[in-house]
């Protein structure tokens, strides 16, 4: 399996995470608890698809073997995907969906805020553009976490269960990695050393308002998006998402 250079791997991490998160949101089409929430989730998903395309366009330009954004999204196998384990997890109930969204939004918000100042002009431009949208996303998911956590006994318990379900995947959001170190050493991106602290601060603040408890830091385990070792859920998601392009390559209508 091809392993690209550090910068391209980093772009795929951002692009794949946005695309898979968007795909999970799409699963709520026609099934959301309220019309406004369905609109909200589809709008967030649409923003994320657009962001994924921007990251993929740049990655494809770097790979430079004739690939393009569509091919990266629809013709790579599970092991080639670099998305966070968190975003490939099943939606569960609305509390699980919102908890995943909130953890991801907080991560995106701080990553993009740091990347806004990247020396790499492509990265800075995409980050600046995306951050405007992600600021809205984070505001919305934070409000839901607070509303559900500080809501009824039932909604509070559902939030506690949701955190239990997905917290173990958050280790990837706060880990320090050689790829990012070498990218910042080489001057492509700013150092992401503050990221764990920033993410944790946002989560703590919102959880405090939501009367929820922040668990101890999640430990690393053998799965890792960086090596393509995903949970069992990604393959099934891709099977559905990629079916058309795999069965009818370059189909158009």
Partner 1 sequence: MQAGELIVTDQLGRPGDKTDIQRAYSVLEDVMDPEVPVVSVMDLGIVRDVGWTDGHLYVVVTPTYSGCPATEYIETSIREALQEAGFAHPHITQSLDPAWTTDWITDQGRNRLKAYGIAPPVGSSNKRTLLSGITQVECPNCGSDDTEQLSEFGSTACKSLYRCKSCLEPFDYFKCI
Chain positions contacting partner 1, by CB under 8 A: 36-37, 39-40, 42-51, 53-54, 121, 124-126, 128-130, 132-133, 135-136, 139-140
CB distance 52 to 19 below 8 Å: yes
Q: How far apart are CA 129 and CA 54, in angstroms?
A: 10
User: For residues 49 and 223, which CB has a smaller minimum distance to partner 1 in the complex?
Assistant: 49
DSSP assignment string, 62-130:
HH-SS--HHHHHHS--GGG----HHHHS---SHHHHHHHHHHHHHHHHHHHHHHTT-SSHHHHHHHHHH
User: For residues 4 and 136, which CB has a smaller minimum distance to partner 1 in the complex?
Assistant: 136
> What's the closest the beta carbon of residue 15 comes to partner 1, in angstroms?
11
User: For residues 3 and 132, which CB has a smaller minimum distance to partner 1 in the complex?
Assistant: 132
> What's the closest the beta carbon of residue 36 comes to partner 1, in angstroms?
4
Q: How far apart are CA 16 and CA 22, in angstroms?
A: 10
Q: How far apart are CA 239 and CA 77, in angstroms?
A: 9
> What's the closest the beta carbon of residue 182 comes to partner 1, in angstroms?
25
User: For residues 123 and 163, which CB has a smaller minimum distance to partner 1 in the complex?
Assistant: 123
User: For residues 136 and 181, which CB has a smaller minimum distance to partner 1 in the complex?
Assistant: 136
> What's the closest the beta carbon of residue 9 comes to partner 1, in angstroms?
21
Q: What is the rounded end-to-end Cα distance, in angstroms, of the chain?
A: 32
> What's the closest the beta carbon of residue 52 comes to partner 1, in angstroms?
9
Q: Which of 164, 177, 178, 180 is nearest to 218 (CA)?
A: 164
Torsion sign across C-alpha atoms 175, 177, 187, 138:
negative
> Tokens for 195?
């990221």
User: For residues 118 and 195, which CB has a smaller minimum distance to partner 1 in the complex?
Assistant: 118
> What's the closest the beta carbon of residue 38 comes to partner 1, in angstroms?
9
Count CB-CB contacts under 10 A for residue 50: 14
> What's the closest the beta carbon of residue 245 comes to partner 1, in angstroms?
18
Q: Which of 136, 145, 46 is nearest to 98 (CA)?
A: 145
User: For residues 20 and 163, which CB has a smaller minimum distance to partner 1 in the complex?
Assistant: 20
């Amino acid at each position: 399996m091809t392993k690209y250079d550090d910068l391209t791997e980093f772009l795929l991490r951002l692009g794949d995470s946005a695309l898979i998160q968007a795909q999970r949101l799409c699963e709520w089409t026609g099934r959301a608890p309220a019309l406004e929430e369905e609109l909200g989730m589809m709008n967030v998903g649409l923003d994320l698809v657009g962001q994924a395309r921007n990251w993929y366009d740049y990655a494809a330009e770097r790979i430079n073997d004739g690939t393009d954004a569509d091919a990266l999204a629809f013709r790579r196998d599970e092991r080639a995907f670099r998305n966070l384990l968190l975003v490939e997890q099943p939606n569960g109930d609305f509390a699980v969906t919102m908890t995943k969204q909130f953890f991801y939004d907080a991560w995106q918000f701080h990553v993009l805020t740091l990347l806004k100042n990247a020396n790499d002009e492509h990265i800075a431009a995409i980050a600046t553009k995306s951050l405007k949208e992600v600021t809205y996303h984070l505001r919305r998911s934070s409000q839901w976490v607070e509303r559900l956590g500080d809501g009824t006994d039932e909604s509070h318990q559902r939030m506690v269960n949701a955190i239990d379900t997905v917290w173990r995947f958050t280790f990837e959001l706060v880990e320090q990695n050689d790829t990012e170190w070498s990218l910042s050493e080489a001057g492509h991106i700013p150092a992401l050393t503050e990221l764990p602290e920033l993410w944790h601060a946002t989560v703590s603040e919102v959880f405090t308002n939501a009367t929820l408890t922040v668990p101890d830091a999640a430990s690393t385990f053998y799965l890792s998006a960086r090596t393509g070792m995903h949970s069992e859920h990604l393959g099934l998601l891709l099977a559905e998402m990629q079916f058309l392009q795999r069965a009818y390559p370059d189909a158009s209508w």
